[in-house]
Structure 1
Amino acid sequence: MPSRRALLVAPALLAAPAARAQQRPLRIITPFATGGSTDTLARLVGARITALTGQAVVVEARPGAGGDLAMQAGAAAEPDGHTLILGSDSSLVRNPMLRRGIPYDPERDFAPIARLVVSWYAVAVNAALPVRTLAEFVAWARANPGRVNYGSAGPGTLAHVIGEMMSQGLGLDMQHVPYRGASPALQDLVAGRLQFYAVSAGGLLNLLREGTVRVLAVTGASRQPALPGVPTIAEARFAEYDHSAFYSLSAPARVAPPFVDQTGALLGRIIAEPDTAERLQALALDPAFLGPSEFRAFLAAERVRWREIIARTGLRLEG
């Protein structure tokens, strides 16, 4: 009788092409509602996996609780090479430091495979607000306590963290409104139910042409080609709030090492494709591939960095 580990050495992507066509699909569990940039990222990568290997892929959205539901489902999945989990900086790095009782352990429950992309963020307001710079917004928010609602794709996400860092660091009375993904939050920003949103910019660019939202600053070391007239947060003199998100794929812990290595190599090939890179950049997602060993080292360094930020700033999250 072969051992369980031996049985796991030939999961979905390691099977021969003919066998793959007969297997159950590979699942990619995503943490936010369909229609957003993370959903599009998963579907784009899944389609390329199918095209290159013949393995069917399904994207399974598990929105809610800032990604906790998706991560919990991924942690509970069988480590048989048929499940991947789309993780982020919030779910894999900050959540255990900032939120109590999350139902998974990011270091224990997952086998990191690859960082795929880094997403720059846009600090945006509803266009009806009488502000045109980030400094003007801060002054207006101070003069109007309790009148600013800011959105996020859920508790602990980078939008929530940036909003709370600004609230606590600048003494602003802003209320956090969590959503099940970026798309519904953007809809409320347009409608004026939200006044402020530090949002991953992929879903935002079309709205700018409609004039319903205004971007005050962007994250990153340089201005974005899509918004050349918008300063970086550092240029706006708020460099301490300059943070970007990453998105990655992991497997449940205890999956066979060959699956991690070969899937990492496959994902590296996909992210390096010129057409894939162009489509990602149209979503404001910058290709930033790291394979399994480099990704593990990156996660370790990010955990140290955020522990230092939290210790220095006293950041806490509520609701």
Structure 2
Amino acid sequence: MVGRRALLAASASLPAARALAQQRPLRIITPFAPGGATDALARLVGLRITALTDQTVVVEPKPGAGGDLAMQAAAAAEPDGHTLVLGSDSSLVRNPLLRRAIPYDPDKDFAPIGRLVISWYAIAVHASVPARTVVEFVTWAKAHPGRVNYGSAGPGTLAHVIGEMMSQGLGLDMQHIPYRGANPALQDLVAGRLQFYAVSAGGLLPLLREGSVRVLAVTGPARQAALPDVPTMVEAGFAEYDHSAFYALSAPARVPQAFVDRTGALLGRIMAEPDTAERLRSLAFDPAFLGPEAFRAFLAAERIRWRDIVARTGLTLE
């Protein structure tokens, strides 16, 4: 009799358990320290998810190792529809090509959900560097070997790749200083401990008013409205170093396809909102949404493109 009561009680509790499971927060794991543009991107998307679905979203920063810690945590998470990770061009495309070993497989460990934005980069120097063009910077750096430190948000990130491509391709003796996010590196650029930084522009723009940082060029196909007098890298004569980043949300592999489709559609709705697009542009992000299928095709094409770049340039990262 007791056993029957227990069975009935357990059966009665199943709907409540399912409801409780549905109320679990959705976590978005991010690869860099709080306070930067990528953190703001994740929080903006999370707030819109909550507003549209009533599901709580928790942004969980796991900075370090150029995004490896965040990607590793997401790859190990249960594929139950309660974890997303904010990946980038470095973590989802280049890392396997440029680094000896990474603790995840970007192709096999994740289910692509949606590309969100493209981020243009600013080629910046500290004001103490007497260069106002990229050509002048290259000339100055060659005349001062070993005196140029450049920053990045971690190994393999686009700032590291652009810096190393310029070092190897132009014969510059520059030292790479990795950080746990863009903000700490920007602080050192402002303080003069870094002389050069190819930085995602979102965190940089507010600092330009201080006069301690000078932008020599921007990446992308056209000049940026925020810096209309600054040439593109193509205009500056350095098209081979003209690269921009993308940021995207993925889930652990083996997540139900229904979750992929539903979340992809939701993200598409969010990224189409005019207010959301305006806020993203204020962070120097260009909205560039791709749904699950198109995003998967984009990743495949980017991996081929970067494989060709690495083969052509011989680019390596320590």
Q: TM-score, normalised by structure 1?
A: 0.93
> What is residue 127 of structure 1 aligned with on the other side?
127
Matches of residues 12-91 of structure 1 in structure 2 within 5 Å? 19=19, 23-91=23-91
RMSD: 1.3
Could you tell me how far apart the structure 2 residues matched to 1:131 and 1:67 are? 32
1:222 alignment partner, SS class: coil
Alignment of 1:171 with 2:171, yes or no, is: yes
> What is residue 265 of structure 2 aligned with on the other side?
265
Q: Residue 209 of structure 1: CA displacement? A: 1.1
Could you tell me how far apart the structure 1 residues matched to 2:19 and 2:32 are? 32
> What is residue 6 of structure 2 aligned with on the other side?
none
Unaligned runs of 5+ in 2: 1-17
Could you tell me how far apart the structure 1 residues matched to 2:135 and 2:313 are? 20
The one-letter code matched in structure 1 to 2:195 is Q
Contact 1:20–1:54 under 8 Å retained in 2:
no
> What is residue 252 of structure 1 aligned with on the other side?
252
The one-letter code matched in structure 2 to 1:192 is G
1:109-149 Cα distance to aligned partner (Å, 9 max, x none): 00000000000000000011111111000000000000000
Could you tell me how far apart the structure 2 residues matched to 1:299 and 1:288 are? 14
Q: TM-score, normalised by structure 2?
A: 0.94
Could you tell me how far apart the structure 2 residues matched to 1:276 and 1:20 are? 30
CA 1:20–1:216: 2 relative to 1, 3 Å: farther
> What is residue 150 of structure 1 aligned with on the other side?
150
> What is residue 112 of structure 1 aligned with on the other side?
112
The one-letter code matched in structure 1 to 2:294 is E
Could you tell me how far apart the structure 1 residues matched to 2:82 and 2:165 are? 38
Could you tell me how far apart the structure 1 residues matched to 2:251 and 2:204 are? 30
Contact 1:219–1:243 under 8 Å retained in 2:
yes
Identity %: 82
1:184-214 Cα distance to aligned partner (Å, 9 max, x none): 0000000000000000000000111111100
Aligned length: 302
Could you tell me how far apart the structure 2 residues matched to 1:274 and 1:230 are? 27
The one-letter code matched in structure 2 to 1:130 is P
Contact 1:65–1:154 under 8 Å retained in 2:
yes
1:202 alignment partner, SS class: coil
> What is residue 160 of structure 1 aligned with on the other side?
160
Q: Residue 19 of structure 1: CA displacement? A: 4.3
The one-letter code matched in structure 2 to 1:214 is R
